Structure 1
Amino acid sequence: MGIRKLDLHIGGAWVPASSRETLDLVNPATGEIIAHVPLATPADLDAAAASAVEGFATWRRTAPAARCAIILRAAALLRERRETVAALMSAEQGKPLPEARAETLRAAELIEWAAEEGRRTYGQTIPAPDGTRYLSFWEPIGPVLALTPWNFPLVSPARKVGSSLAAGCSCILKPSEITPLSATELVRAFADAGLPAGVLNLVLGNPALISRHLLEHDAVRAVTFTGSVTVGKSLSEQAGRLMKPALMELGGHSPVIVFDDVDVEKIAKAAVKAKFRNAGQVCTSPTRFYVQAKIYDAFVDTFGRHAAALRLEAQGEGVDTMGPVVSERRRMALSELIEDARAKGARVVTGGKARAGAGFFLEPTVLADVPAKARIMSEEPFGPVAVFNRFTTIEEVLSAANGLPFGLAAYLFTANLAAARQVSHGLDCGIVGVNSFSGSNPETPFGGNKDSGHGREGGTEGVREYMTLKFIVEGTL
């Protein structure tokens, strides 16, 4: 596709950054440079903030039905442009084309749900003493700073942009500097759908500079971030000092509890598909597997067999494929975790090696009998590595599952309804999949507890995160 030149989107126009400095954007499957990413300067960021203020003044006065129509047109354009967007996404992030197409359609679904939910932000009429009326209204909070990660370069921006715009807010979107192409196409779809100038602005560049400068800016009224726990805590601290609401969707290390009454072949095959989607670079990825002792060996062997059968490629059309990890730095970090686990006694069932040649490919890796002292048992691997241990009792496995500061997602598989209810209510996390690896849908709330963040995206709660409740008393003279 050649080396692309990217621009910022400020005030309804595509404009170059003030600085000529750029970052190289690398295709993780080939190692080739595919784009130059501009570095926004403080002056560019101030322009984006001023534009968002003007856009908010217009957008908040736009009727919810009219806002909904424009947002739905943007979603329709994403659907029409699915092949173009998917090719860009696969090139910048490395996920196979079928996954990139699915992500494009999921992004459109998220936007569509938010658009319609923006028409249902009902207030209340509250019973009051004679002669007065008590009224409550949900109103848009103001310009929102949206900071999004590289692992889902379209879905994550779509969640934040769709919901904040549906609430009546303007938005400044800063996607990951590693994966800006998909977000650029999202902004292009909104612009082509007729979104008023200034309602959605796109800035690219240094994440620390951009987040610090814009969060401190008086124009920005709220921040939403998806990314690491460390960065999320820093942003939350900054937002708290400024008394600005912060929606944080942070890391995870999801436990999977498998009881001995399941169909081993069926559940192991489904688990492999869930684990190695996006090369395991998913915050809700099933990672720590706890399998009841009676079926432990059979389950680990079956899981390992299906994992070993995956083919490593990015832009192929096969369904049993896995792409590269996003960078050499990520691959090296994962290799260190694998070697640490091996050195401390873990058994390598399959994988464990970086593939020679171009790209940042790492074999699907399965580690069994992993001791608690191994780093990977407490550090989120965020890659194609699954770890296995056995358990006997519910009390034992709940203690292990809840033993980390993460609390995003967890999964359990059993035909025993009583056990399912006991475990699902005993897990300390925001999302629990019972006999299912599906935990992220447009209609449902998405988010975690503890170090995994606070606030919820999606569902009826998603739009309200970008609104503030106003109470009005109407008296009589």
Structure 2
Amino acid sequence: MKLPYPAIRQYIAGEWQEGRGEGCTAVLNPADESSLAQLRHVSTAQLDTALGAVRDTARLWRRTPPAERSAVLRRAAALLRERHEHVSRILVLEEGKPLHEARAEILVSADILDWYAEEGRRAYGRVIPGEYGSRLSVIPEPIGPVAAFTPWNFPATSSVRKLGGALAAGCPIILKPSEETPGTAVELFRALHDAGLPAGVANLVLGDPAAIAARLLAGPVIRKLSLTGSLAVGRTLAHLAADADIVTTMELGGNAPVLVFPDVDAGAVAEACAKAKFRNAGQVCNVPSRFFVHESQADAFAEAFAAIAAELRVGHGLSADVEMGPLANARRRDAVQEMVDEAVAQGARVLAGGTRPAGAGFFYAPTVLADVEEKHRVFSEEVFGPVAPITTFQDADEAVARANDTGYGLGSFVFTSSLDIATRVSEDLQAGMVGVNTTVLSRAETPFGGVKASGHGQESGSEGLDAYLVRKAVLQHRPLASNTTKGTV
């Protein structure tokens, strides 16, 4: 059976074109390590064409009525829904997650486009009371051309958050997704193209990340940088952006603590956390990551978690009944194995998993570790894999202090039946998002972003639109006459 994988092309100034750069990257299926496509890198000349396209369309797109911009995004969302089965299979082939997760990602991506389509029509300013005959206005305006960089773990939702926000606000955009998952991005741009987006307003470039970033951020065209990626990449791009006075929004990962208090059903909480933890093989930036369980619940919680992990069906994402797919690449699998082995050597106990299965593919067994300490890298660093490290605590103050003892601050989770604990702990946790008795931190209507090393700025919700707007104050007075100077200073 022929795999439903598209030809990988650049989309620049409204045209699909082969990359003309010197480099070439093989796109692999992480479930069997087979080659899906060869991606020819974008050339410097093509990047300059993309920069020229967003420069030349900036005035056109900002002057396009919000209702017309909204209609384009709505049509693109409708096309994604019509094509979601096809696009979902492409996502599975290049990223590895199970088909039901891929379907959910594509449908959520359509919802995000719809959200921005409506929110873009509500980019309100304000009029401030002033002197008679004067008008003091605050007017939201598009910030200008955007350069956006997205990762491989959620190639649809991470891209549409940036595409939807920028386009709804009136900003043209150049998107550089991961070269490991280009097929999903191609389908997103196909939907935008077929929805009638004017040529040049959105551009897709693929190739060497460092070379692309250096070219896009070096000149005067780009006015906004949006990145979802690693802390190391974020720091590099932040320097480039600072040199060019470019405004930034960055989501740079997390290591979310989970605080499980003694007044909960340990089995029910373990089940919810296991489903969240092993989603996308643990390759989720806001996934429950470090488990602090009250000592009275620790054994029951760990046993329930381990039992679920041991029974998970792992395999190719397109196979029936598969619950967890492979990791995205060999380097991720090997890094996870190294961290687990190191923790075990330092005293952690393996309750489930802890190994990679034999055969092809970048698979790693769902893993649960007990007796974990802060000194273990599997606890102190972002694992980005299917590993659940568990430790215990005695009281809330201790749990919060240890949970906050990290450079990251993206998401945090609290499970309790106490309104007082829920309120107090959610206020004390240093994170951009807190889930109380839920593992869901992301919705189209709510802001997504972190603090500390997890980045700055937010996507989704009204804050996600605001990230692509600037506020202009207009202080308007009556025409000057020879005997009046009011309003001139």
Q: Give the alignment's TM-score, normalised by structure 2.
A: 0.96
The alpha-carbon deviation at position 374 of structure 1 amounts to 1.2
Q: Residue deviations 1:364-418, cap 9 Å, x none? A: 0111111221112211100101100010111110111000010000001010111
Instruction: Find the aligned partners of 1:320 and 1:433 in 2 and give their Cα distance.
Output: 27
Tell me the amino acid that sits aligned with residue 409 of structure 1: G
The alpha-carbon deviation at position 99 of structure 1 amounts to 0.4
Tell me if the contact between 2:310 and 2:352 (Cα under 8 Å) persists in the aligned partners: yes
Tell me if the contact between 2:257 and 2:289 (Cα under 8 Å) persists in the aligned partners: yes
The alpha-carbon deviation at position 314 of structure 1 amounts to 2.7
The alpha-carbon deviation at position 19 of structure 1 amounts to 2.6
Tell me the amino acid that sits aligned with residue 226 of structure 1: T
Instruction: Find the aligned partners of 2:352 and 2:138 in 1 and give their Cα distance.
Output: 58
Aligned Cα root-mean-square deviation (Å):
1.1
Residue from 186, 189, 204 that aligns with 2:206: 204
Residue matched to 1:246: 248
Tell me if the contact between 2:92 and 2:318 (Cα under 8 Å) persists in the aligned partners: no
Count of residue pairs brought into register by the alignment: 477
Residue from 351, 354, 365 that aligns with 2:353: 351
Residue matched to 1:224: 226
Q: Are 1:56 and 2:58 an aligned pair?
A: yes
Tell me if the contact between 1:314 and 1:323 (Cα under 8 Å) persists in the aligned partners: yes
Tell me if the contact between 1:262 and 1:415 (Cα under 8 Å) persists in the aligned partners: yes
The alpha-carbon deviation at position 20 of structure 1 amounts to 5.3
Instruction: Find the aligned partners of 1:311 and 1:66 in 2 and give their Cα distance.
Output: 46
After superposition, residues 16-95 of structure 1 pair within 5 angstroms as 16-19=18-21, 21-95=23-97
Runs of 4+ aligned structure 1 residues displaced above 2 Å come to 1-5, 314-320
Residue matched to 2:192: 190
Deviates more, 1:239-248 or 1:329-338: 239-248
Residue matched to 2:270: 268
Q: Residue deviations 1:244-296, cap 9 Å, x none? A: 11000111000000011111221111111000000000000111000001110
Instruction: Find the aligned partners of 1:235 and 1:205 in 2 and give their Cα distance.
Output: 16
The alpha-carbon deviation at position 315 of structure 1 amounts to 2.6
Q: Are 1:119 and 2:121 an aligned pair?
A: yes
Tell me the amino acid that sits aligned with residue 199 of structure 2: A
The alpha-carbon deviation at position 237 of structure 1 amounts to 2.3
Residue matched to 2:370: 368
Instruction: Find the aligned partners of 1:68 and 1:372 in 2 and give their Cα distance.
Output: 48
Q: Residue deviations 1:449-472, cap 9 Å, x none? A: 000000010011111100111111
Tell me the amino acid that sits aligned with residue 232 of structure 1: G
Instruction: Find the aligned partners of 2:26 and 2:47 in 1 and give their Cα distance.
Output: 21
Tell me if the contact between 1:9 and 1:202 (Cα under 8 Å) persists in the aligned partners: yes
Instruction: Find the aligned partners of 1:245 and 1:75 in 2 and give their Cα distance.
Output: 28
After superposition, residues 240-389 of structure 1 pair within 5 angstroms as 240-316=242-318, 318=320, 321-389=323-391
Q: Give the alignment's TM-score, normalised by structure 1.
A: 0.98
* SS of residue paired to 1:406: coil
* SS of residue paired to 1:405: coil
Mark the CA change 1:332 to 1:257 in structure 2 (over 3 Å): closer, same or farther.
same
Residue matched to 1:213: 215
Residue matched to 1:418: 420
Mark the CA change 1:419 to 1:230 in structure 2 (over 3 Å): closer, same or farther.
same
* SS of residue paired to 1:84: helix
Q: Residue deviations 1:14-46, cap 9 Å, x none? A: 011223531100000010000111211211110
Tell me if the contact between 2:13 and 2:200 (Cα under 8 Å) persists in the aligned partners: yes
Residue from 171, 178, 194 that aligns with 1:176: 178
Gaps of 5+ in 2: 480-489
Residue matched to 2:468: 466
The alpha-carbon deviation at position 196 of structure 1 amounts to 0.4
The alpha-carbon deviation at position 129 of structure 1 amounts to 2.0
The alpha-carbon deviation at position 319 of structure 1 amounts to 5.5
The alpha-carbon deviation at position 320 of structure 1 amounts to 5.9
The alpha-carbon deviation at position 212 of structure 1 amounts to 1.5
Q: Are 1:442 and 2:454 an aligned pair?
A: no
Tell me the amino acid that sits aligned with residue 358 of structure 2: A
Tell me the amino acid that sits aligned with residue 441 of structure 2: G
> Rg: which structure is higher?
2
Residue matched to 1:11: 13
Residue matched to 1:167: 169
The alpha-carbon deviation at position 4 of structure 1 amounts to 5.0
Instruction: Find the aligned partners of 1:11 and 1:100 in 2 and give their Cα distance.
Output: 29
Gaps of 5+ in 1: none
Tell me the amino acid that sits aligned with residue 384 of structure 2: F
The alpha-carbon deviation at position 104 of structure 1 amounts to 0.2
* SS of residue paired to 1:119: helix
Residue matched to 1:157: 159
Instruction: Find the aligned partners of 1:156 and 1:388 in 2 and give their Cα distance.
Output: 29
Tell me the amino acid that sits aligned with residue 415 of structure 2: F
Tell me the amino acid that sits aligned with residue 207 of structure 1: P
Deviates more, 1:36-45 or 1:153-162: 36-45
Instruction: Find the aligned partners of 1:129 and 1:416 in 2 and give their Cα distance.
Output: 52
Percent sequence identity over aligned pairs: 48
Tell me if the contact between 2:348 and 2:370 (Cα under 8 Å) persists in the aligned partners: yes
Instruction: Find the aligned partners of 1:288 and 1:164 in 2 and give their Cα distance.
Output: 34
Tell me if the contact between 2:113 and 2:160 (Cα under 8 Å) persists in the aligned partners: yes
* SS of residue paired to 2:69: helix
